[in-house]
Structure 1
Amino acid sequence: MKYVDNKVLDLNIAYIGGGSRGWAWNLMSDLAKEESISGTVKLYDIDYDAAHDNEIIGNSLSKRQDVKGKWLYKACETLKEALIDADFVIISILPGTFDEMESDVHAPEKYGIYQSVGDTVGPGGIVRALRTIPMFVDIANAIKEYCPDAWVINYTNPMTLCVRTLYEIFPEIKAFGCCHEVFGTQKLLSRALQDIKGINDVPREDIKINVLGINHFTWIDKARYKGIDLMPVYKQFVDKYYESGFQSDANDNWMNNSFVSAERVKFDLFLRYGIIAAAGDRHLAEFVPGYWYLKDSETVREWMFGLTPVSWRKEDLKRRLERSKKLISGEEKFELKETGEEGVKQIKALLGLGDLVTNLNIPNYGQIENVPYGSVVETNALFSDNTVKPISSGKLPDSISGLVLRHVYNQETILKAALTKNFDLAFSAFVNDPLVTISLKDAKKLFKEMLENTKEYLNGWKL
């Protein structure tokens, strides 16, 4: 890499899933606003036309006067072509299609099992993992062959098992997973400061927190702002809004947007366990017994969040495809926006352009004391020149560790089942999930149905 005046001018980024109409556009926006790095982004996608569309959109950005970061975008027909000479690899894929996801999320509803997301745990998360893990086996082997020294950033869910698979197949890989869920809780703490203490406009980055747990089931046991202990502040905030819920923007109501909540699940978990649950309510609800928050649609409404139907995702994809056409034709101008993601900041730090402390998903090397070594956990880490150092987060409280460890061990079981194509092992993980509260007979019937609906991605399985 070529460094000139504290800038890197010839960076090579491989983007797996480069046809994305979401994450890829976010990356383009962040790169366009950053003047200290430039180079080439190679876009690989199983849908080459989608990657080529993004090539056109990305290159049109570099021609604009208001764009600081100049990049050459290039669609690649093979994974090998994208990975050769890569300094960084970004993975953001949809494992399968929304048809498979529709089965993941909605097939269990026939048995009274409801899921608010269905991509991490629960029946949907487990089946999604079974088709995702083989894809990540192939990706890990390709990285090992073509760019073994590259840093690998994963955004795909189920996050924990995606990162765990990369290390299982290529133990020397330099990979980590990124998730913005914790950022939302930092913003909530900022709003609590404003509401309880009258301290306004605190950037989330100034809220210093200790993070521990697993992806989408993260916890904060320490939080401070300029010498102020935020745990008592949050306690007052929870007591004030526990019954009514809290929403800072009246125009973005949870009843009209299934991605928004009134934080009541988060508040309830705080009152149960005394530390802050640090993911969105839709994710948190899926990690605990189903009757707590997901018993039925009425229960979900009482807790003031929503079930995200896959039909909405399909309609949203249509809207994104239409927008892609407009961006390519020039009918619509690409708007540079604040994405809230930290991928570019992490890249800069790893290039030696300033240190960064943020949360990530990486194997446990002891940063959480009472979670098995080698399992993927989410904690803070220090990013610096070509180095990621996990920060010791202590231990999960005993009352919470049982909830977390159930999923940790279940995820290990799912990984083994996927790698060995073992139906019985996979089923044992399926029935051990806290959302699966139906009879063994019905669970077997549901599991077989869900696997049948995703069999295109389960080569070698005996179903």
Structure 2
Amino acid sequence: MFYISTLDQIKIAYIGGGSQGWARSLMSDLSLDDRMSGTVALYDLNVEAAQKNEIIGNNSGDGRWRYEAVSTLKKVLSGADIVIISILPGTLDDMETDVHLPERYGIYQSVGDTVGPGGIMRGLRAVPMFAEIARAIRDYAPESWVINYTNPMSVCTRTLYKVFPGIKAFGCCHEIFGTQKLLAEMVTDRLGLEVKRREDVHVHVLGINHFTWVTAASYRHIDLLPVFRDFCAHYAESGYELEGESWKDSVFRSAHRIGFDLFEAYGAIPAAGDRHLAEFLPGCYLKQPETWKFHLTPISFRKQDRDRKQKETDHMVQQKQGVERKASGEEGVNIIAALLGLGELVTNVNLPNQGQVAHLPLEAIVETNAFITRNRVQPIVSGALPKGVEMLAARHVSNQEAVAEAGLTKDRGLAFQAFLNDPLVTLDRRDAEQLFDDMLSKHQPNF
């Protein structure tokens, strides 16, 4: 039974507690929320990173939360009400291989963490890690709620359920928030109305992580799909950018041209950024990023960003500084509050398919809205994807199921079949096998 004594005794277990991104966002959001207090236990294979976050966390906010770095999964999980998983499966050197080695074969990737050759390799690395985490949750915190932020979201979350079927886990992703913001800007651009909060734009979402779609949207009484059709027609060729914010200024920005193109093809709004969307389809977009006005994010950028954050971390520790008390825009703290009985919330989550997405396999991880309240996450039945999108998504679901199974059983043949079936792998079998072997042996020689 899910039970806590009082809301000042909550224990959050953070696996990946040395994080310089998600963990800092959690610290900031907890410092701004006065409904709860307790302990945040930080576990990380990089013990020093977790210890630094302990110092930063304990200098953040008003002391209602105590941060503590711990050395084992047993210690972090014992007594936990909420478990957060935010880890990097492997290293940035691994990711460099994931993203850039396929370029020798003419295969380009914009992110490399969900699908494509890079997403598959990352998934094969992540599965054993998530299997270990699932067993530890089963043994030490079986009634806790588990929030996963790690990519590949579908493969990681599916592994948790395969290893511990009784787990209460779901995946969270903020891509849909960006789509809500785009729709809010559209309402201003096309209708001249100001939308104060992106949550005021209501969206009906379904699909799989990073390939999620909006089949209905509204603001107040206004149906936004016809408005988006007009918006799309106006900006399809030029792309859409806020004044003074060029897509060229950041590797994470785009001009939404891929999203507009896919809307014209399928009649639903893609609810992810162009960098993610491009990887779910054959490589036409990825070979012309300048034309489509988005970026292939190089791992050199991620390494530079890591080094910058490490310097910031060291400075904060030396100066005994906490995080800036500024809302991150994430919904993690509101989700935790709802699970603890402090309100209700509807937001997008990734859960095993129990029929909430028609025609996709049962038990596969799908993304829809869910109703969250005390000790309950109830996915909202969302119907079917447009048929053309369903066919594309089904191929990736099949691959994700295969990667999770191959990672658990060390079935190299099954892993290669998923690799060969990915839409970005447009190679003959011999070249595909050579690339697969090279990628796998680079950082997973014992697979």
TM range (shorter): over 0.9
Residue equivalent to 1:43? 42
Amino acid at match of 2:272: A
Shift of 1:94: 0.4
User: How many residues are aligned here?
Assistant: 444
Residue equivalent to 1:439? 428
Decide whether the 8 Å contact of 1:131 with 1:454 is kept in 2: no
Residue equivalent to 1:422? 411
CA distance in 2, matches of 1:419, 1:357: 33
Residue equivalent to 1:2? 5
CA distance in 2, matches of 1:126, 1:386: 33
Amino acid at match of 1:56: I
Decide whether the 8 Å contact of 1:120 with 1:157 is kept in 2: yes
CA distance in 2, matches of 1:137, 1:178: 19
Q: Is the aligned partner of 1:226 residue 2:220?
A: yes
- Of residues 149, 167, 170, the one that matches 2:164 is 170
Amino acid at match of 1:395: A
Displaced runs of 4 or more, over 2 A:
331-334
User: What TM-score comes out, normalization by structure 1 length?
Assistant: 0.94
Superposed CA RMSD: 1.1
Residue equivalent to 1:94? 88
- Of residues 404, 408, 418, the one that matches 2:397 is 408
Offset from partner CA, 1:331-384 (integer Å, 9 cap, x none): 766312221110100000011100000000000011111111100000000000
Residue equivalent to 2:439? 450
Residue equivalent to 2:330? 341
Decide whether the 8 Å contact of 2:338 with 2:372 is kept in 1: yes
Amino acid at match of 1:146: Y
Q: Is the aligned partner of 1:286 residue 2:275?
A: no
- Of residues 261, 264, 268, the one that matches 1:268 is 261
**Residues 449 and 50 (structure 1 numbering): CA distance in 2 closer, same or farther, change over 3 Å?**
same
In structure 2, the residue corresponding to 1:165 is in which secondary structure?
helix
- Of residues 399, 417, 430, the one that matches 2:388 is 399
Q: Is the aligned partner of 1:319 residue 2:308?
A: yes
Decide whether the 8 Å contact of 2:160 with 2:169 is kept in 1: yes
Shift of 1:201: 3.1
Residue equivalent to 1:388? 377
Residue equivalent to 1:149? 143
Residue equivalent to 1:128? 122
Offset from partner CA, 1:25-45 (integer Å, 9 cap, x none): 000000000000000000000
Amino acid at match of 2:54: E
Shift of 1:249: 4.6
CA distance in 1, matches of 2:323, 2:164: 38
User: What TM-score comes out, normalization by structure 2 length?
Assistant: 0.98
- Of residues 249, 254, 258, the one that matches 2:251 is 258
Shift of 1:406: 0.4
Decide whether the 8 Å contact of 2:187 with 2:195 is kept in 1: no
Shift of 1:454: 1.7
Q: Is the aligned partner of 1:139 residue 2:138?
A: no
What runs of 5+ residues in structure 2 fail to find an aligned partner?
A: none
Residue equivalent to 2:202? 208
What runs of 5+ residues in structure 1 fail to find an aligned partner?
A: none
